[in-house]
Chains A and B, each alone.
Chain A
Amino acid sequence: MSEVVAAKKRRRRDVNPLEYLKRPWMWLALAGCFVFLYFPLVTLVAFSFNSYKRAFIWKGFSLKWYEKAMGNEALHEAFLNSMQVAAWSTVVSTALGAMLGLALYRYRFPFKGTYEGIAHLPIVIPEICMAVAMVTFFWAVGIELSLTTVIVSHIAFTIPFVAVVIRSRMAGFDVSLEEASRDLGASEWQTFWNVTFPYMIPGLVAGALMAFVLSLDDFVITFFTAGVGDNTLPVKIYSMLRFSVTPEVNAASTVLIVITLTLTLVAMVMQSRWGKENNQ
C-alpha cells in the first residue's frame, strides 16, 4: 500500500511542483478568466457590424451603423470635444508629471513619504469622490463649468500617472553619465538637455499616451465637471445608453475601444523595448 503511494508521489515529482502552468486545472482557470474578460467585449464589437436594427440578432455584415454614427452631428461634436480635452490635458500633464517624476527620482527632501502619499491620492480614491470635490471647488470659487474645467480636472488626475511612468523609466538611468558630462565641462543645464532628457524620451512618450487614454476614457469626472451641453464621447455614449440602445452605440463604443487599445499597445511596446535596452 505504502509502495503504491510512494510510486504515485514519485510520478508526481516528474513535474516540477512549482510549475503551476504545467497543470491542466491552471490552464482551465486561465482560459476561463480570459473568456470572461473578452467575450462581452468581442460580442459588443461584433454586433456593431450587424445589419439588423433590433439589437442582438445577427442578420449579416454591414457598416451602416458606422455611417449613421458618422452622420450623427452630436456624436461628431462629442468626439471632437474628447480629442480637444485629451490633447490639452496630455500636453500639460506630461510636462508637469515628467518634472515631478524626475524630481521624486532625484531628490531627497523632508516629508517625502507624506508628499508622495498625497500626490498619488488621485490614483487611489474613487473617481466619484474626486469628481464631486472638483465641482464643489469650482462652484465655491465661482468658476463656471465648461470644457476648460474638464481639462483642468483631467490634468490633476493624470499628473500622478505620468510621474509614476517617468520614475520607473529613470530607475534604469546610469547616474555616472551625468557625472561624466559635468566632469567634461558641461553645465547643469547642458547636462540635462543633452544627457538626461534624451534618456527620458521613451518614458515621455509612454506617459503621454497613458495620459491621453486616461483622459479620453474618463466618464465620471467629465460628467460632473462639464458644463451643460459639453459632451465628450463617453458622456454622449452614456446618454445614448439611457434612451435607446441601437447598434449605433456599439459602433461609437468600438471606435473608442480601437483608439484606446491602439495607443495602449504602442505605449506597452515602447516600455518593453526599454526593458531590453536596459538589459544590454
Chain B
Amino acid sequence: MEDWRKNKLAFAVFMGPATFWLLVFFTIPLVVIWIYSFGERGPLGQTYLAFSFENYLRAVEPIHLKILWKSLWLGGLATFLCLAVGFPVALGIAFAPDRWKNPLLLVVVLPFFTNMLVRTFAWVVMLGSRGIVNSGLEWTHGLLDGGFSLAGMPDLMGTFQPLELLHNNYTVVVGLVYVHLPFLILPLYATLEKMDRSYLEASLDLGAGQWRTFFSVLVPLAMPGILSGCMLVFILSMGNFIIPDRLGGTDSLMIGNLIAQEFNKARDWPFGAALSFVVMYPVFIFFVINALRARYQDRRRAEV
C-alpha cells in the first residue's frame, strides 16, 4: 500500500467521485433525518426544526413500546431459529471436501439473489387459504371422506375448512428466517472455514467427546462469526416491513411497519425519523465496538 501523499492527484481522482456521491446522497441524508428526529410535527404534517427529545420519548410510550417489544421478540426468535438451522449447514459446508464447498455455498446463496418480495409471495403460495399446504390437506380430507363413505360413515369428516396459516406472528417468523438465513450462514461459514482445526483435533485427542469439543472449543472459536451473523439477521429482521405486512396479521406490526406508516399515511416525519434511529443506534454502536476490538487486536499483534 502507498501513502496517499505520494500521489495526491491520483488519490483525489480515484477517491473523489464516490466520496462525493456517498457524502451528498447518503451521509447528508442520514444527517438530515437525524436532525429531523429532534424536530416537531406541524398541524399539516410539516416539520419544524427544534431540539426536543419528545419523539424518542414517544417511541417508548406503551402503545409504541408494545410494537418495539414485539419487534425485539419476533426478530430475536427469527435470529435464534436462523442460528439453529444455519449452524449445521455452515459447519457441514466448512468441513466439506474442497471441491464441494463452492457448489454447496452457491446453492445456499442463490435464493438470496431472488427478489425479497417474490420470496415473501412464495410463502403466500405455500400457506394461503388456497395454498399448497391447504390444497394438500383438502385432498387428503377428500380421500379420507371417500373412504369413510364407503365404510358406511358418510358424514364423519364434515366439510373441509382451510387452516388459517397466514396472518399470524409465526408466519412472520418463518418469513424472516427464510429471507435472512444466508446472512447468518455466510459469516459463520467464513469463520469456520479459516478456523485452526488443530484445536479441535487436540480436544478430541485429549479425550473430550464430540459434544464437549463442540461447545467448549468450536463454539468459542466461532464466536465472532456467530455474533456478526446474528447481529446482521437481527438488525435486518427488525427493519423489515414487507414480511410483517404481507404475511402478518393485524397485530404483527413491527418497527419497520411503524416507520413506513409515519412516512406514508401518518405523515409524522420527525417521529418516523426518531424510530429509524432507534433501529440504527445499536447498529452504529455494534460497528464502533467491532472497529475498536479490531484495532486493539492489531495493536496487540504488533506488540508481540
Write the residues of chain A forming the contact surface with B, with a CB cutoff of 8 angstroms.
17-21, 26, 29-30, 32-34, 36-41, 43-44, 47, 54-57, 95-97, 99-100, 102-103, 105-109, 113-114, 117-119, 121-122, 124-130, 132-137, 140, 152-153, 155-157, 159-160, 163, 188, 213, 217, 219-220, 224, 234, 237-238, 241, 245, 249-250, 253, 256-257, 260-261, 264-265, 268, 272
Contact = CB atoms under 8 A, between A and B. Distances in A.
B113 A261 contact: yes
B116 A219 contact: yes
B95 A217 contact: no
B140 interface: no
B58 interface: no
Given A133-B276, A163-B18, A219-B117, A18 B201 contact: yes
Given A129-B279, A133-B276, A156 B26 contact: yes
Query: SS class of chain A's interface: helix, strand, loop or mixed?
Result: helix
Interface stretch (B101-109, B144-152, B153-161): B101-109
B210 interface: yes
Given A17-B204, A107-B2, A125-B283, A100 B19 contact: yes
Q: Which range holds the interface residue count of chain B?
A: 35 or more
A40 B119 contact: yes
A219 B197 CA distance: 42
Interface SS of B by simple majority = helix
B236 interface: yes
Contact of B27 (A19, A54, A102, A118): A118
Given A132-B272, A134-B29, A156-B22, A188 B7 contact: yes
Nearest to B177: A36
Given A108-B2, A136-B32, A261-B110, A155 B25 contact: yes
Interface of B: 1-4, 7, 10-11, 13-15, 17-19, 21-22, 25-30, 32-33, 36, 85-86, 88-89, 91-93, 95-97, 100, 102, 104, 106-108, 110-111, 113-119, 121-126, 128, 130-132, 135, 178, 181, 197, 200-201, 204, 210, 232, 235-236, 238-242, 246, 256, 259-260, 263, 269, 272-273, 276-277, 279-280, 283, 287, 291, 294-295
Which 6 pairs show the lowest CB-CB distances between chains A and B?
A126-B239, A137-B29, A40-B122, A100-B18, A103-B14, A29-B88
Contact of B113 (A29, A33, A155, A264): A264
B200 A18 contact: yes
B14 A100 contact: yes
Interface-centre pick from B21, B269, B291 (highest chain A CB count, 10 A):
B21
A253 B121 contact: yes
A132 B14 contact: no
A222 B135 CA distance: 35
